[in-house]
A = this chain, B = another copy of it.
């Protein structure tokens, strides 16, 4: 069933059918009804490819993320997909992995598919070296590129980020002020946002003249989901004689690693070991006591990102970068 069939059965031209289909005003009520009746009768739907070819768009946005099964990224994808759909856009999902090369090829693939815009989910897409970020600038030559939780100053690239520096800075201060003078920073990523968080911790510690040893900065490099391995990392550290009465983790999973370490070593939480996580995910309620964690307002970020993207696609001038602040949600793993 094509537009020709409908036009024939309705006794009008294909142009008129097209007008009805696209809600053009220049059609008499009478013809409109006639056409609509035929369309409904035959349950006709226009061919999306032909329409795409004519309009040069299929109203589709490419979502690129390193790993859609990651708790945090999955949540982001969920929000983004829903909000895109509410704006009449579809989303092509593409998991790129964490390698620069596979990221590049995934991004190119998306471009090839003629998406109207691209959303890079997570901070891992931005690299330290400018030359490593060129692949994003290249993509932005074709379609607008949106960054969630990462920032890059380049034409046609828009960034929506959480103020990880300040969140971490304040969380660290709060822990120090509650009496923990030796909080350890436990992280697993040196991505764009990873660096901001680390800097926030450092700044807080240095403002109190408490950063005395590099041992307080612990980079865990195993699997992002392997809680026992995280716990073991801390156990080994303690066995080496490093002393800490608090852990500030770069995400909730890492914080659970600290929880497990505490349990295994007979430490009371928060009295012997205070813990703060990041992301305020469902994991915060999965342990006992509940995990204090930083809420970085993911849904707000996603909402804003989509709003910005829609504006850009409409040709409206939009802010190149937007920053939202986070908030520490206190549960049972912090003192005070």
Q: Tell me the A residues contacting B by CB distance below 8 Å.
A: 45, 47-50, 52-53, 56, 58, 60, 63, 67-69, 71, 74-75, 77-78, 81-82, 85, 90-95, 109, 111-114, 225-228, 253, 256, 259-260, 263-264, 282-283, 285-288, 290
Contact = CB atoms under 8 A, between A and B. Distances in A.
28 contacts: A45-B112, A47-B53, A47-B114, A48-B112, A48-B114, A49-B52, A49-B53, A49-B58, A49-B114, A50-B53, A58-B113, A67-B78, A68-B68, A69-B75, A69-B78, A71-B74, A81-B95, A85-B95, A90-B94, A90-B109, A225-B285, A226-B285, A227-B282, A227-B286, A263-B288, A264-B288, A286-B287, A287-B287
Max chain B Cβ within 10 angstroms of own Cβ: one of A47, A52, A67, A283 = A52
Given A74-B74, A81-B94, A225 B282 contact: yes
A288 B260 CA distance: 7
The DSSP consensus for interface residues of chain A is: helix
A188 to B, nearest CB: 14
A332 to B, nearest CB: 11
A93 B113 contact: no
A102 B230 CA distance: 41
A63 B94 CA distance: 12
A94 to B, nearest CB: 7
A286 B285 contact: no
Contact of A91 (B93, B111, B282): B93
Contacts of A92: 60, 90-93
The 4 closest A-B pairs by CB, nearest first: A69-B78, A49-B52, A74-B74, A49-B53
A257 to B, nearest CB: 9
Nearest to A62: B90
A81 B68 contact: yes
Contacts of A112: 45, 48
Given A58-B113, A78-B95, 8 more contacts: A45-B111, A49-B49, A52-B52, A69-B77, A85-B94, A93-B93, A260-B288, A286-B287
Contacts of A114: 47-49
Query: Which residue among A48, A56, A109 has the maximum number of chain B CB atoms within 10 Å of its CB?
Result: A48
A104 B111 CA distance: 30
A127 to B, nearest CB: 23
